[in-house]
Structure 1
Amino acid sequence: MRLDPSEEAVSPVTQTNDTTVLAAGCVLWRRSPVRSELEVCIVHRPKYDDWSHPKGKLKHGEEALSGALREVAEETGYVADPGAELPTLHYLAGGRPKQVRYWAAQAVSGHFDPNHEVDRILWLSTSEARGRLTQPRDRDLVDALVRRVEQP
């Protein structure tokens, strides 16, 4: 599995500046149609040969939640119903600080068609998703989702 060599962990950024890349995404989930257990959708990006949550850069002036839902639709083909905001991730990408805001989002409808950014998606149990995700920071988001969805 090839990791994006331009991404490295950094301390949390407390404020953004003109060089910070702003992005947003979702931890997309559903109930298994077979066992009713929580499943998470993860995406495969062929450019980096990695598995992650759907996310992407915000367009100029775009609200973070709108961008997150747009990215889910573009990368997975699913319409999502957003829920709680999850932890924001901060890291370096291409030598620049990157801030990615995330939301828990339940898949409402849709179907996947491979595209230039994402060639495969998987619906996995939370434990399977944690094992398949490339970046440890993405695994922490699965844990945050479970705390939000499974606990009252």
Structure 2
Amino acid sequence: MTTAPDPPPVLAAGCVLWRPAPSGHGIEIALVHRPKYDDWSHPKGKRKRGESARACALREVLEETGRHCELGPRLPTAHYTVAGRPKHVIYWSARALSGTFTPNPEVDVLLWLPPPAARLRLTQPRDRALLDAALTTPHP
């Protein structure tokens, strides 16, 4: 009896997007709300055919938050299963640059929160672990 081969993983990329806090003390973390899943997460998405992980992360941050960003240190890759298929999401810590958020069908709310509040708002434990990893990386 032959078993079907495992499906190839879904490849994706994203960022823990941050900016200096307007108060001048510390940083704020960007979280996106996806109405389709009613969850709060870091901006991320699937790679297009032939697209590098870096290019995907930059594109997804721009699409989901309206912000250009500067990639910083690489963060741990998230590995999980969605609808029976493995998914691998490569992440970076990224500083937000220029841009303006516009709600869209994929992301209806963007919040900038201090790290402790962002940690509480994140839906998935893996995203909280990712935030913890980002907070241990140096920020300029």
TM range (shorter): over 0.9
Number of positions where the alignment pairs a residue of Structure 1 with one of Structure 2? 135
In structure 1, how many angstroms separate the alpha carbons of the residues matched to 2:67 and 2:50?
Answer: 23
Q: Deviation string for 1:74-95 (max 9, x for gaps)? A: 0000000000000000000111
Distance apart, 1:33 and its partner CA: 1.1
Q: Which has the larger radius of gyration?
A: 2
**Corresponding residue number in structure 2 for 1:21:** 10
Matches within 5 A, 1:2-151: 19-149=8-138
Q: Quote the RMSD (CA, aligned, Å).
A: 1.4
Distance apart, 1:36 and its partner CA: 2.6
**Corresponding residue number in structure 1 for 2:3:** none
In structure 2, how many angstroms separate the alpha carbons of the residues matched to 1:24 and 1:70?
Answer: 9
Q: What stretches of structure 1 move > 2 A for 4+ residues in a row?
A: none
Identity, in percent, stands at 59
| Equivalent pair of 2:33/2:110 in contact (CA under 8 Å) | yes
Distance apart, 1:35 and its partner CA: 3.7
3-state secondary structure, aligned to 1:89: strand
Distance apart, 1:111 and its partner CA: 1.1
Which residues of structure 2 form unaligned runs of 5+? 1-5
3-state secondary structure, aligned to 2:60: helix
